[in-house]
Structure 1
Amino acid sequence: MPASTPPADLADRITALLERHPVWDGHNDLAWEAREQAGYDWSALDIGAGTSGRTHTDIARLRAGGVGAQFWSVYVPSDLPGSAAVTATLEQIDAVRRMVRTWPDVFTLALTADDVEKAWASGHIASLMGAEGGQSIDSSLGALRMLYDLGVRYMTLTHNHNTPWADSATDDPAGHGGLSGFGVEVVREMNRLGMLVDLSHVSADTMRVALDVTEAPVMFSHSSARAVCDVPRNVPDDVLARLGRNGGLCMVTFVPGFVNPHVGQWRAEAAEAARGRGIDPASYAAFSAFSAEWETDHPVPPTTLDDVVAHVEHVRDVAGIDHVGLGGDYDGSSGFAPGIEDVSGYPKLLAALAGRGWSDADLAKLTSGNMLRVLHDAEDVAERLANERVASTVRLREG
């Protein structure tokens, strides 16, 4: 069922809001789509001319959605072995940087919170990067530091599989209670650098240990509320409640299986069927192919905009209005709810929230104000820690 169109006065209100407080989204996988579809050839995947039907993201739709800042995911599969994951991550970083250079009138590479605000002042879309999974550093603090120097401003501690030092939400626990001793050092080094600790994809135990260790605010770049949709990828209420004390942020994702319990159950059943065929559900490529086949005889239940609204409001109610944001996961999933099928849909979500009584001040925190504060705070912590300790320059590995 199509999402209803907001009345003209509400639409005008949202447009005016987004001009002052653009969306800063936590997670978009366009770079991986560029790899898969075009071998990173931005002339073949021309987001300037428009890529509707091929991707969820292009320049016109980013503008229509009021997006002013984007964490571009430099994702690589979590089952890539060792150094291959590092190489692929470097290729992803290169792709994002070349995208920015290809459309310099649209994008600006942002390395700091101040850079984001400068981009907004010039009418550009601030482009930041987030590494999706600790596999990207191959258990090396030196590699972590180099990713930071190349512009990566958050790292998700795991993706679908455990790393040697951190447990994933979708893998069997490795027996070190969430984070190993080396994993604790990774979090501390990220704090020292000013790289945000992203807890999407990690196990609940990993979330809790990371919150015990970190001196800077954490983030969830694309996760929703487990109390609303009980799947391992979502955040339990006790962890959401700790974000208020930590100063962190849960950026609510729009992924159907993480926002709608019926789709979550569908995914669980598909995962069980995949295991019966010898397919690891944590393997993104293999499980995606299997799911497309499974869907032929097992239709996916519908997801609605109201499902996403429920998560945004639950995170607000438990964590507080200062600790909620948006992390759509466009080009990293499929089947988004009507009205938010692609990056042009953020105004529809904001209008739905405004219709439920959200003030402009609260909407402004949701769109980008909270994320701006979190990055500023992480930078402040890094400045303090830089004077207190210097991490070893020796290449450290787990095991």
Structure 2
Amino acid sequence: MHASQTITPAATLTTPVLLLMAVATGLCAGSNYFNQPLLHSIAVALNVTDATAALTVTVSQLAYALGLLLFVPLGDKLERRSLASGLMLLAAAGLFISGYAASFSMLVIGTVLTGLFSVAAQTLVPMAATLSAPQRSGRAVGLVMSGLLSGILLARSAAGLLSDLGGWHTVYRAAGCMMVALALALWYVLPASRNPVSMSYGQVLRSLLALAARHPRLRSRTLVGALTFASVSVVLSSTTLLLSGPGFALGDSQIGLVGLLGVAGAMMASVAGRLNDKGWGLATSAACLLLLLVSWGALRLGLASLPWILVGTLLIDIALAGVHIGNQGVIYQLDPQARSRINAVYMTGYFAGAATGSALGSLAWQLAGWRGVCVAGAALGLMAGAALWHDYRLARSR
């Protein structure tokens, strides 16, 4: 029997180990969001327009989606600890390139490399589910995902604060050092584990299509996730433009602090994980999608009122976390031996949705300003609700 099959969940994933995994996933995912509050500073420093600087948001998400497709499925083939640590070290290289970028093209190269390899986060999430006792897998995934979502939100705050202290490069350099340290720490504390099924890389990639074809609820929940994250990404890509504009005239650190509100929303991931363990996953997803639509109403009022922007930001982050954990609670039960590949299918769609939402947000801003942004985001939220209704019908028909 392979060594990974002899490790008991209790010995493998203690709470401190799960917390370390949560911090690592947070840094990995957050590394793709450092640029959001810094867009104007980047544009000025590298002599490009704000619109050109905003392209790095879409580039990072497209690179992340590609990394999900190419590397995350390897969690079902390679030794998982080595895969996660190796990807994190490569992501650190991308961060250092961005941190010392003297031109926009160099920043794009660093952004692409960071996006491709920071998918290490998505090798750790299914590992938490695989190495936990079945009755506690929802809690384990929820805890790690709380770290991931908190990282995305704290990244914007940290980037803004460090930019005021040492320039926009500072956060990339600091994050690169942290990434190396966490990669080494995970190598030390995580057990060696490997899927007992042996496949070639070509077979792994081909099996992604087979899994999507075999499991209708993988397709439906991927669509729900993609549309939800697209809706949220509409606001992520345009809030900085609103808050740095003449109406509010906020600086990098002030814009970054707005993201701190979302950390409370990220804690919803842990709550949602526990609700999934109790069989309330579908109801939680539906309630969070309703909250998503309410958040767009608050954000629409934020055109002339910062408090409404803060309320909308908090609600939209709670909604994103709840829907995402509900989706993972469904897909991880479809085929336990293929969790990394199932996660790759889901997360590729998830971040493809994010990239689409970012692009739509930028387009809506250019065409109709903040009002157009809110219309686009709410429309995507309604589409996510329709996709969840389809998933509900699939669940009932089983």
Calculate the TM-score normalised by the size of structure 2.
0.29
Task: Answer 1 or 2: which has greater strand percent.
Answer: 1
In proportion to residue count, which structure has more helix? 2
